[in-house]
Amino acid sequence: MNVMDKDAIYVIQIYTRQPVVIAEGKGAIVWDVDGKEYIDCVAGIAVNNVGHCHPKVVSAIKKQAERLIHTSNLYYTETQVELAEKIASLTNLDKVFLCNSGTEAAEAALKLARKASNEKDFIAADGSFHGRSMGALSVTSREKYRKAFEPLIPGVKFVPYDDAEAIEDAITPRTAAVILEPIQGEGGVRIPSDGYLRAVRDICDDSGTLLIFDEVQTGFGRTGRWFASMHWGVQPDIMIMAKAMGGGFPIGAMVAKESVAQKFQRGDHASTFGGSPLACAASLGAISALEKGLVERSAKLGKYFMKKLGELKHDYIKEVRGKGLMIGMELTIGGDAIVDKARERGVLLNCVSETVLRFVPPLVITKEQIDRVVEVLG
Ligand SMILES: Cc1ncc(COP(=O)(O)O)c(C=O)c1O
């Protein structure tokens, strides 16, 4: 029986998978079980920023796996504090909670915001995606994801994205926090206008509301800065991250300002696996790879990629937009057929929000590989 048939029998069928069985990866290339090569413009959904099997990540995992894999948070480890210090310095925030995914980081952020503000309500944006656990789903806007699981947590208001006034109008004395993606990912690679995040920051400051930035998809160099909010120089009170943080190994974090973080006390939140020595070592390996110029490379190659995509002329192409190597091509038709055709011709893509082709390749992708992707699309 082949892999796809077995999957249909044994794996709960919640994923819409593309019909390819991936066996190996290196840099921006993956190979399927038949040896067919693909340029990977999905990167495990914006995870493999340092490329598949980056030597620094592989060697960090190997070394750590031979020493200590897991201890629980009943004890200290050197790798965990080393990573926490690094994340605090990269974000200019103060204290870190380590977990295993973006959803868990979102969940932790919502709990911290409630505890720190002593209020209950949240404001999120139309088109938002923050995860699918009950809390994270409650601030995720799409009806399609929410409907079957209601009632979700009460007191969440959705406002149009990129509209600061709508946030100002929605804030009440019961608002604990505003949660936003600095650039929306699943919502269709939506980039806000330049003054948006600053205006939201000011509104939150004036009303004493906490501001949470979800950098799960936009973090770790994806947009040409370490974190997307840095394009606009706006600091949140709480930031969440995951995806590219471990170079492919599962790890996430919630990072907060000291004054907010200190409201979380012993027993308020926890994770058995969170911040395991192995995950932290993988993350330190990935960060050290990113520090070798990959963030700048994302900015530079992102411009090149966007320019090339922008030169494609077709009635179906409505707009090409992006920052760094987080690029969306909005179509006037559904994108799935193009994703299928591109895959047949050796390019992995995916489509978000039905009509937006998303390009989030490893930041190590070469110009030649970008040229090939554009040629295939053409
Ligand atoms: C912005 C954002 N937040 C949160 C999540 C959830 O992360 P995870 O799938 O690691 O739980 C995602 C996943 O796509 C995301 O894009």
Residues with catalytic function: 129, 214, 243
pLDDT at 314: 93
DSSP 8-state assignment for residue 52: B
Please give the helix or strand (H or E) that residue 134 lies within, else none: helix 134-138
**If you take atom 8 of ligand 1, which residue's CA is the nearest one?**
102
Distance 13 CA to ligand 1 centre (A): 19
From CA 322, how far away is CA 339, in angstroms rounded? Answer: 19
pLDDT string in tens for the chain (378-residue length): 899 999 999 999 999 999 999 999 999 999 999 999 999 999 999 999 999 999 999 999 999 999 999 999 999 999 999 999 999 999 999 999 999 999 999 999 999 999 999 999 999 999 999 999 999 999 999 999 999 999 999 999 999 999 999 999 999 999 999 999 999 999 999 999 999 999 999 999 999 999 999 999 999 999 999 999 999 999 999 999 999 999 999 999 999 999 999 999 999 999 999 999 999 999 999 999 999 999 999 999 999 999 999 999 999 999 999 999 999 999 999 999 999 999 999 999 999 999 999 999 999 999 999 999 999 999
Mutate to test the pocket of ligand 1, among 45, 99, 103 (most ligand atoms within 8 A of CB): 103
Q: Say how many Å lie between the CA of residue 102 and the centre of ligand 1.
A: 5
Ligand 1 atom nearest the C-alpha of 136 is 4
Both structure tokens of 77: 């480890």
Reported as type and span, the H/E element at residue 39 is strand 37-40
pLDDT at 156: 98
Q: Which residues line ligand 1 (CB under 6 A)?
A: 45, 101-103, 106, 129-131, 181, 185-186, 214, 216-217, 242
> Measured in angstroms, how far is the CA atom of residue 216 from the centroid of ligand 1?
6
Q: Which pLDDT score is estimated for 205?
A: 98
Probe target for ligand 1 pocket from 216, 227, 238, with the most ligand atoms within 8 Å of CB: 216
154 preceded by a cis bond (ω within 30 of 0): no
- 318-322-324 Cα angle (round to 5): 150
Contact between 216 and 240 under an 8 Å Cβ cutoff? The reply is yes
**Which pLDDT score, from 0 to 100, does residue 309 have?**
98
All structural domains of the chain = 3-53+293-377 (3.90.1150.10), 56-290 (3.40.640.10)
Cα–ligand 1 centroid distance for 222 (angstroms)? 14
The distance from CA 139 to its chain's CA centroid, rounded to whole angstroms, is 16
Ligand 1 atom with the shortest distance to the CA of 101: 10
* pLDDT at residue 230, rounded to an integer: 98
Residues whose CB is less than 8 angstroms from the CB of residue 292 and which lie 6 or more positions away in sequence, other chains included: none
Parallel, antiparallel or unpaired: strands 22-26 and 29-32? antiparallel
**Between β-strands 356-359 and 350-352, what pairing exists: parallel, antiparallel or unpaired?**
antiparallel
230 C-alpha vs ligand 1 centroid, how far in Å?
19
pLDDT in the model for residue 90: 98
Q: Whose Cα sits closest to atom 4 in ligand 1?
A: 130
Q: Which atom of ligand 1 is nearest to the CA of 243?
A: 10
Q: What is the pLDDT of residue 136?
A: 98
| pLDDT computed for residue 97 by the predictor | 98
Measuring from atom 16 of ligand 1, which residue has the nearest CA?
A: 217
How many beta carbons lie within 10 A of that of residue 338, not counting itself?
19
Q: What does each C-alpha distance from 36 to 32, 196, 345, 346, 371 come to in angstroms?
A: 5, 44, 10, 8, 19
